[in-house]
Amino acid sequence: MFMKNILPRTAITLLLTCMPVLAAQSEKVPAEADAMTETLPQPGEEAVPNDEPVVVEDEGDAAYGAFQRGHYLTAFQLALPRAKLGDPAAQTLLAEIYSRGLGLPQNYKEAAFWYGSAAEGGDKAAQLKYALMLLEGRHVAPDPEKARELMRLAADAGNSSAQFNYGQMLITAQPGKEGIEKALPYMTKAAESGIADAQFALAQIYAYGTGLEEANPYLARTWLIRAARSGFDTAQLDLAVWLIDGIGGKIDYEAGFGWMRRAANTGNVMAQNRLSHLYINAIGTRPDPIEAAKWYILSRRAGLEDRSLEDFFQGLTADEQKAGIEAANNFRSR
């Protein structure tokens, strides 16, 4: 994909300054977490948009239909005349074809031209994409002020990724209470639409009360659950710890273990390290020295040192160490 519709997740840490990092999954969503937040959607019900659709508003439009069927050259040929006449939706379609090299050689300069034209014409998807290009100075001259305005327009028009990005921009411009108050409505709309980054950002805000009258751990935990369900591994890690420590709600060791295992299975190194501790101490699961060794080895290979786990591993029998190493060698993230 040519560009993301949301800023990198690391930007959350930079933009929500002065927030402590949250303390850091089973193969199915823990039922106990569902019971705690009955109003939250069940897995599969909640949309998790990764990319705002490139929109030609009329679903019956021939160019868009050809694009959807993978007939990219046909889509290009049908959209080009309309784009030249100033149709923003057709311009966005051309920009997407150029940016992703669909049926034509990738051409970022042409993509930028058509995204810019469509953005000026009011297409919210193009406003988001062109704003990101202006913000990062990719294939166009950087223009932070214009990027901010286009992001606001897209956010106010209901583009969920733009709402999240614009919320971050507001926090960056005014760190602290004033910025949070302005950003919160945008962040909330983005989170409610299923943007996992926004859900996690809200969890951080409510967990520590940054810019608010006071912290709200219970509300923070509900947003952690939603972010975890959306597949955000850092949220899964944090939720596991919150469930095990009883932060923002009741203690639930089994559910905490389940979320930790899910995050570990996606390749989250910290979750792998902590999952090893859970197996050793039989927290939410039965003790299993081979599994503990496996997860420790995986986290150690990724560069995370842990003296206590190393001592544990050295205390295993040679057969147990061998079994743990073999299990780590056979691991494939999922």
Residue 305 has pLDDT above 60, yes or no: yes
Task: Share the mean pLDDT of the chain.
Answer: 85
Mean pLDDT throughout 11-34? Answer: 35
In degrees, to the nearest 5, what angle opens at C-alpha 299 toward C-alphas 296 and 305? 85
Mean pLDDT throughout 255-261? Answer: 98
Residue 51 has pLDDT above 70, yes or no: no
Mean pLDDT throughout 77-102? Answer: 96
Which homologous superfamily is 10-217 in?
A: Tetratricopeptide repeat domain (1.25.40.10)
Mean pLDDT throughout 320-331? Answer: 97
> Where exactly does CATH 1.25.40.10 map onto the chain?
10-217, 233-329
Q: Are 284 and 51 in contact (CB under 8 A)?
A: no
Q: Give the pLDDT confidence score for residue 241 in this predicted structure.
A: 98
d(CA 204, CA 199): 9
**Lowest-confidence pick of 21-30, 144-153, 305-314:** 21-30
**Lowest-confidence pick of 11-15, 196-200, 249-253:** 11-15
Q: Give the pLDDT confidence score for residue 21 in this predicted structure.
A: 30
d(CA 230, CA 6): 15
Q: Which two tokens stand for residue 317?
A: 């029998």
Residue 53 has pLDDT above 60, yes or no: no
Residue 27 has pLDDT above 70, yes or no: no
Q: Which two tokens stand for residue 330?
A: 């056979």
Q: Give the pLDDT confidence score for residue 156 in this predicted structure.
A: 97
Mean pLDDT throughout 126-151? Answer: 95
Q: Give the pLDDT confidence score for residue 196 in this predicted structure.
A: 96
Q: Which two tokens stand for residue 188?
A: 């909330």
CA distances from 228 to 61, 202, 259, 260, 273 (A): 37, 13, 8, 10, 18
Output 151 or 12, whichever has higher pLDDT: 151
Residue 4 has pLDDT above 70, yes or no: no
Q: Give the pLDDT confidence score for residue 210 in this predicted structure.
A: 78
Q: Report the topology of domain 233-329.
A: 1.25.40
- Which residue, among 329, 330, 268, 261, has the nearest Cα to 299 in the 3D structure? 268
- Which residue, among 270, 209, 265, 258, has the nearest Cα to 234 in the 3D structure? 270
Q: Give the pLDDT confidence score for residue 110 in this predicted structure.
A: 96
Structure letter (DSSP) for residue 284: S
**34 pLDDT tier (thresholds 50, 70, 90):** very low
CA distances from 234 to 8, 10, 45, 75, 131 (A): 13, 11, 21, 39, 27
- How many percent of the chain have pLDDT more than 70? 82
326 CB burial (10 A radius; 0-12, 13-18, 19+): middle
Residue 12 has pLDDT above 50, yes or no: no
Residue 252 has pLDDT above 70, yes or no: yes
Q: What is the DSSP string of 217-263?
A: HHHHHHHHHHHHHTT-HHHHHHHHHHHHHTTTS---HHHHHHHHHHH
Q: Are 156 and 190 in contact (CB under 8 A)?
A: no
Q: What is the pTM of this model?
A: 0.76
